[in-house]
Structure 1
Amino acid sequence: MACSLEADTSAWRRYGREGQSEREPTPEEAETIERLATEQRKHADAYDQHQDEGDPEADDYELVEQQLCEALDKADENLMTAHAVLQQWAPEQLARSGALVRLDHCGDIVIERGLLRPEDRKAATSEGGEITRPDPVATEQVSTRAEFSEKLMRDLTAHRTAALQAALMQNPQVALVTLVHRMAETVFSLYGSGDDIVKVAVRVTSDSTLAQEASAYGDSPAATLLGEAEAMWGDRLPGNPAALFRWLLAQPQATLLELLAYCTARSVNAIAARTRSTANHSDALAQALDVDVADWWTPSAGRYLGHVSKAKALEAVKEATGVDATQATVGMKKAEVVAYCESKLEGTRWLPAPLRNLDEQGGEGAVEDEMR
């Protein structure tokens, strides 16, 4: 066992880590796991069927969804607990690995278990051990069911991605930081190696990709701004790869930074199927750019209100204006409620949770911790 008073995690990045192995369950444990897995599949199927076939206009739609979600969460938790009981350190793992006790930046004691010295990694790998990098900020994974459907989540976060792209394109300094951050992740094995010769991969998140996910994307301010930039650079850049390199060599640094900002921006992809429970890099980027998605997205019928239940639309109005419009919309059809809510939300800059910065959803300080 080793002890460290260093808050910097670089001291033990050279170590590998072994995960606990799972012992064979007893007949009784195996029977319990099979039963819990069957229950989990049953609840998952019921939840998915409700998502696919349920009527969002039904009065009890959200109540049923919440009940199914809670049942599935409980089934997930029970199954994870049953498997957790089987986790153990094998004798050969105990013989070759150790632990490191450290103080984190808050002064709390953290124990890193299953660490391998660099010289011991090769032997452990040859014996079939699973070696991973230590995670200095390990977090418990909790199974949850989001309040928004996967389709709507991808729609909203595609608009958020476009907003991040448009803002990053206009901020070469943060674009440079973003690119260097990605390169440092690769060079220091903090994230993962790229596939290109310099080990930096750029995967373009194009207008067509965003338009497939984001409803009414072509009419959005971000789409307009990004499209104009694409046309501008398309006209300026030579079409021949060899000529492009020579052209770049002749450009002033300001032009290179502007092009870097555009290309880096186009690599951003924060599209997600589930809500964020903890800060991720998209929140750090949004904070660095001071992005307010309300500048880029509005809760129209096509983008949001037509995709949620009447109750959810009215909830948005109440949250934005403080007025409960439930009684005012009694007897209205779904389309009428949507139009009513759209008019009430106009100019309020209201955003659903997936489009808000994480600290606005109750995670204050989380983004700062992520950036440290």
Structure 2
Amino acid sequence: MADTNTTKKTTRSKKSTANDALKAALESIPVGMQPVSALIRSPLNVRTTAYAQKSIEGLAATILSVGVLQNLVVHALPDDLYGVAAGGRRLAALNHLLETNAIEPSYAVPVKVVPEELAVAASMIENDMRVDMHPAEQLAGFRTLAGEGKTPAQIGDLLGYPARHVNRLLKLATLAPALLEALAKDEISVEQCQALTLTDDHERQLQVWTTAKQGMFHSTLSADYLKRQIINNDIAVSDPVFRFVGQEAYLAAGGSLKQDLFSAEDEIFADRLLTEKLLQEKLQDEAQHIQDIEGWAWSEARLSPVRHYGDDAKKYQLCWPEPAYTIDERAKINELQDMVEASATYDDENELQQRIDDMEYKAIARQVTPEYVASHGVFVSFEDGELNVQRGVLLRTEEDIQAIEVAEAARVMSYRREPEPVDDISLPLLTKMSSERTLAVQAALMQQPGNAVAMLAWTLCQDVFGRQEYNNPMTVRLTCNHHSLSQNAPTGTQGKAWLALMAEKERLAGELPTGWQSDMTTFFTLPGELVTALLAFCAACAIDGVQTRESGHTSRSRLSTLESATGFHLRDWWQPTGENFFGLLTKTQIAAALTDAGLNDAARDTEKLKRADAAARAEREMADNRWVPDWLRSPDVTTDTSDNTTTQQAA
């Protein structure tokens, strides 16, 4: 039999080694005290994204209760000030307390004063440990250290990144400034930027990026596509773009042609960059010519036409008037349309349709007055191999653009979820505890067969009512994740919920008739009470409340409504101990938990203890109450930590 035991890796990551190196350097520097009024955000701090307000307020409450448990890393600045390079969230919390008059400007804060070089490294490592740094932030830090003469390998050794990763990000420094700004705003991805760095020509980078965006509005703009646009500088002379530019104009501009002897029919190619440049110039000439002849207020030209959506909708308004018919014209058009329906030949139909089109043109032309032309413009582009002219385009005012941007920002914000305190919980701990919580909810629901069967019926009805029925046999399926839940839950196969579930499973298995798996009719004669118990157990086992995290945001628990409806409380099934919970927290989080439970004296004492001792202390303090972290209980459940009572408020 194969050995199924796995050996845990003991090799430490390069980043962990770098953290240890920085830690060793910091340990040699003594801790000093500085008033909070002397601390400001360091210009060397690589973090550019803001902290969540709830996170700041929560940390501020902990600091007010137990003080600053971990020193800040600072470097000296002029005017007796100190820049905080590591500890930005603590500084934000302290400033919050200062602004709310909870502390005085003289409030002493523990700090370690380090040289600037160490400050940059401390800032990058701290920010990267807490949340993956934005590539623009990494690039800023790497460039600072590279400017001090460090090689990519040295930067990687200092900060715990592979030299190849440092090299790749430093290569982004060759991007046009506008693209670097777009990267910081998440308007362009790192992969897209890397593709554009295949050329150092800023004008070429911007041209490829802008043209690609305009031409692929509805599609995903892949890095491979951008790479092909950078690398592939050839265009076939049979291409509509080249034919529109004209070979004579191309050769006159210094272009050359080359023949691909390995292509079909020995196709001839021209330089794509020069061809597109000449195309842009010809479009602009065409636009200016139409403006001069027809008298439009302005003209513009580009490769793609104006759209009524996206960025174009902010800058332009398509205002070509609809036909305004007189009563006689409308009657005549109705008459002609009836004649079209009754026409015997295509020639007759085309002749009648031409008369309708002529009347439409005149009805529109009457509205294109000199005043209209003087306030609108003409836009020329190249679409589907042909010149495309859009007349009557209105340029929006700055006020209009700002109003649209404000409305769009409000719409985006309405869908954007602000970070919550649970987002500060590590993903491994979130997985462990939401698995523990899921097992407990399963065990509790199993003991309420009526609710469990009702839950199953509700689930099945969502797939039945309102949908077309088929003649297939029942295809209901459920997923039982007991293996992964027991592997992830800190109590594993020794927890109260797991033992209760397995005891009921064993009991029910003993009640099943012989041969039931191969003969569905054996269930037809089972007592109703047993069928209900089986349904209740299976329905309970289908409950899945394991939470995930994407892009820094934690998925909301799907258990809250069910918990509220069934009177569930996690402490009926799970007791927090040093091993299964508190030992998985940081000292700061342990102190925050004790503070949340109203145990302020114990919270303050944890500052003097090692983490293992602090976890053991928390286990003892919490043994006789009903405290549960707010992220492990439904919102309408409040816990009285003074005894073993729980209050459930009306939702």
TM-score (norm 1): 0.58
Identity level (%):
21
CA distance in 1: counterparts of 2:635 and 2:417, whole angstroms: 17
Q: Unaligned 5+ residue runs, structure 2?
A: 1-46, 50-68, 73-86, 91-125, 138-182, 190-212, 219-306, 311-413, 639-647
Is 1:222 the counterpart of 2:497? The answer is yes
3-state DSSP of counterpart to 2:539: helix
**Matching residue of 1:310:** 587
CA contact (8 A) 1:77 1:143 kept: no
CA distance in 2: counterparts of 1:304 and 1:186, whole angstroms: 39
| Offset at residue 78 of structure 1 (A) | 4.4
| Offset at residue 328 of structure 1 (A) | 2.5
CA contact (8 A) 1:156 1:354 kept: no
Amino acid at match of 2:501: L
**Matching residue of 1:173:** 450
Q: How does 1:32-181 map to 2 (within 5 A)?
A: 63=90, 64=126, 78-79=185-186, 140-142=415-417, 144=419, 146-181=423-458
**Matching residue of 1:112:** none
Is 1:261 the counterpart of 2:536? The answer is yes
**Matching residue of 2:480:** 204
After the TM superposition, which of the residue ranges 214-223 and 321-330 deviates more from structure 2? 321-330
Amino acid at match of 1:173: G
**Matching residue of 2:524:** 249
Is 1:319 the counterpart of 2:426? The answer is no
CA contact (8 A) 1:160 1:293 kept: yes
3-state DSSP of counterpart to 1:325: helix
**Matching residue of 2:100:** none
3-state DSSP of counterpart to 1:223: helix
| Offset at residue 278 of structure 1 (A) | 8.4
CA distance in 2: counterparts of 1:59 and 1:301, whole angstroms: 25
CA contact (8 A) 1:43 1:71 kept: no
CA contact (8 A) 2:561 2:634 kept: no
Alpha-carbon distance change, 224 to 58 in structure 1, aligned in 2, over 3 angstroms: farther
CA contact (8 A) 1:163 1:293 kept: yes
Alpha-carbon distance change, 333 to 271 in structure 1, aligned in 2, over 3 angstroms: same
**Matching residue of 2:567:** 290
Aligned residues: 257
1:358 pairs with one of 635, 639, 643: 635
Alpha-carbon distance change, 81 to 201 in structure 1, aligned in 2, over 3 angstroms: farther
CA distance in 2: counterparts of 1:215 and 1:280, whole angstroms: 18
Amino acid at match of 1:198: M
Alpha-carbon distance change, 332 to 282 in structure 1, aligned in 2, over 3 angstroms: closer
3-state DSSP of counterpart to 1:358: coil
Alpha-carbon distance change, 59 to 299 in structure 1, aligned in 2, over 3 angstroms: farther
Alpha-carbon distance change, 296 to 81 in structure 1, aligned in 2, over 3 angstroms: farther
Amino acid at match of 2:476: V
| Offset at residue 281 of structure 1 (A) | 4.1
CA distance in 1: counterparts of 2:71 and 2:458, whole angstroms: 48
| Offset at residue 144 of structure 1 (A) | 3.6
| Offset at residue 81 of structure 1 (A) | 12
CA contact (8 A) 1:301 1:339 kept: yes
Alpha-carbon distance change, 239 to 59 in structure 1, aligned in 2, over 3 angstroms: farther
CA distance in 2: counterparts of 1:80 and 1:239, whole angstroms: 63
TM-score (norm 2): 0.34
| Offset at residue 293 of structure 1 (A) | 0.7
| Offset at residue 163 of structure 1 (A) | 1.1
- Structure ranking higher on relative contact order (CA contacts 8 Å, 6+ apart): 1
CA contact (8 A) 1:279 1:358 kept: no
CA distance in 1: counterparts of 2:624 and 2:594, whole angstroms: 12
CA contact (8 A) 2:559 2:634 kept: no
3-state DSSP of counterpart to 1:321: coil
**Matching residue of 1:182:** 459
2:509 pairs with one of 228, 234, 247: 234
Alpha-carbon distance change, 302 to 281 in structure 1, aligned in 2, over 3 angstroms: same
| Offset at residue 238 of structure 1 (A) | 3.4
Alpha-carbon distance change, 308 to 279 in structure 1, aligned in 2, over 3 angstroms: closer
| Offset at residue 331 of structure 1 (A) | 3.3
Q: Deviations over 1:266-320 (max 9, x none)?
A: 1111111349978664222112211111111122112211111111111111211
CA distance in 1: counterparts of 2:432 and 2:486, whole angstroms: 9
**Matching residue of 2:304:** none
CA distance in 1: counterparts of 2:624 and 2:451, whole angstroms: 29
CA distance in 1: counterparts of 2:632 and 2:133, whole angstroms: 27
CA contact (8 A) 2:432 2:488 kept: yes
CA contact (8 A) 1:299 1:305 kept: yes
CA distance in 2: counterparts of 1:278 and 1:151, whole angstroms: 14
Alpha-carbon distance change, 201 to 140 in structure 1, aligned in 2, over 3 angstroms: farther
Q: Deviations over 1:174-226 (max 9, x none)?
A: 11221122112222579xx9xx95342211122x2211110122222101110
Amino acid at match of 1:219: Q
**Matching residue of 2:622:** 345
CA distance in 2: counterparts of 1:299 and 1:150, whole angstroms: 18
Question: Which structure has the larger Rg over C-alpha atoms?
Answer: 2
CA distance in 2: counterparts of 1:180 and 1:304, whole angstroms: 36
| Offset at residue 70 of structure 1 (A) | 11
Amino acid at match of 1:285: L
Amino acid at match of 2:428: K
Q: CA RMSD in A?
A: 4.3
Alpha-carbon distance change, 166 to 77 in structure 1, aligned in 2, over 3 angstroms: farther
Alpha-carbon distance change, 153 to 232 in structure 1, aligned in 2, over 3 angstroms: same
| Offset at residue 329 of structure 1 (A) | 3.4
Alpha-carbon distance change, 276 to 289 in structure 1, aligned in 2, over 3 angstroms: farther
| Offset at residue 244 of structure 1 (A) | 5.6
CA contact (8 A) 2:546 2:557 kept: no
2:605 pairs with one of 308, 313, 328: 328
**Matching residue of 1:272:** 547
CA distance in 2: counterparts of 1:316 and 1:78, whole angstroms: 36
CA distance in 2: counterparts of 1:248 and 1:59, whole angstroms: 67
| Offset at residue 80 of structure 1 (A) | 7.5
Is 1:213 the counterpart of 2:488? The answer is yes
